[in-house]
């Protein structure tokens, strides 16, 4: 005597609904696109209304801090294309002008500035990656 048809049907429906519910209520920003600064500069329309990750090199001498708000302003570039950044969190340990950073943020309506609160920075000097090395990010 195996499971009755009613039981099987019931189990099937409950499982499928549970999975469907989870999938449909997925958070928008669970999956982010990861691009380089030049792509954002060339096609800003694609990045208008969502969060994304942008990778670029910090331009030397571009770092300023707004003394009232604590916001940092700097410029990142990739393959010659530049993007302004307004960053309102604490700078990560490994941040350095000339170094590579990956910012998570949104594009301003104007299309030329990225507002971000999350940044990870790679140290400009190379070191051999070893197991358990700490994430160089502040997030």
Partner 1 sequence: MNVATLGTISLLVLFALCLASIALAMLGAHRKSARLVEASVQATYAVAALAAFASSLIIYAFLADDFSIQYVHHTSDSAMPLFYKVTAFWGGLDGSLLFWVLLLSVFSALAVRANRRRHAEMIPHVVWLLALINLFFIGLLVFVKNPFEPFILTPDIGSNSRGLNPLLQNAYMVIHPPSLYLGYVSLAVPYAFGMAAVITGQVDSAWQQSVRRWTLFSWTFLTLGLILGGLWAYEELGWGGYWAWDPVENAGLIPWFTATAFLHSMMIQERRGMLKRWNVSLVILSFWLSIVGTFLTRSGVVQSVHAFGKDPQLAWIFGIFLIVILVGSFGVVAWRWNLLRSRAELESPLSREFAFMLNNWVLLAMAFFVLGSTIWPTFSEWFLDERITIRESHFNHYMVPGGIALLLLMGVGPLLAWRRTSTESLQRQFLIPLIIGSITTVVVMALQWVWLKGELGGEVPSAKQLGAAYRAHVWALSAFGLCGFTIATIVQEFARGIAVAKHNNPKLSLLDAGIRLLVRARRRYGGYIIHLGVVLMFFGIAGKSYGIERKVVVKPGDTVALGDYEIEHLGLRATEDWQKEMITAELGVLRDGQLVDVLTPARWWYFQLPDQPTTEVSRYMTVGEDVYASMQTVDLTTGSTQLRLFINPLVNWVWIGTIVMLFGSAICIGTRRKQGAEQ
Which chain residues interact with partner 1 by CB under 8 A? 1-3, 7, 10-11, 18, 22, 25-27, 29-35, 53, 70, 89-94, 123, 125, 127-136, 138-139
Q: How far apart are CA 62 and CA 59, in angstroms?
A: 6
When the beta carbons of 70 and 109 are compared against partner 1, the nearer one is 70
When the beta carbons of 23 and 110 are compared against partner 1, the nearer one is 23
Distance (Å) of CA 22 to CA 17, 27, 48: 8, 10, 27
Tokens, residue 85:
């950044």
When the beta carbons of 43 and 139 are compared against partner 1, the nearer one is 139
Q: Which of 61, 46, 43, 40 is CA-nearest to residue 116?
A: 40
| Shortest distance (Å) from residue 16 CB to partner 1 | 13
């Amino acid at each position: 005597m195996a499971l009755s048809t009613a039981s099987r049907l019931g189990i099937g429906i409950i499982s499928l609904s549970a999975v469907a519910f989870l999938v449909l209520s997925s958070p928008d920003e669970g999956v982010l696109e990861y691009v380089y600064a030049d792509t954002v500069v060339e096609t800003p329309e694609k990045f208008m209304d969502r969060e994304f990750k942008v990778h670029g090199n910090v331009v030397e001498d571009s770092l300023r801090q707004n003394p009232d708000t604590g916001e940092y302003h700097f410029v990142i570039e990739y393959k010659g294309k530049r993007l302004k950044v307004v960053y309102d969190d604490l700078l990560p340990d490994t941040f350095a002008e000339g170094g590579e950073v990956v910012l998570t943020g949104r594009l301003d309506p104007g299309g030329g500035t990225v507002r971000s609160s999350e940044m990870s920075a790679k140290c400009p000097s190379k070191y051999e990656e070893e197991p358990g090395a700490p994430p160089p990010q502040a997030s």
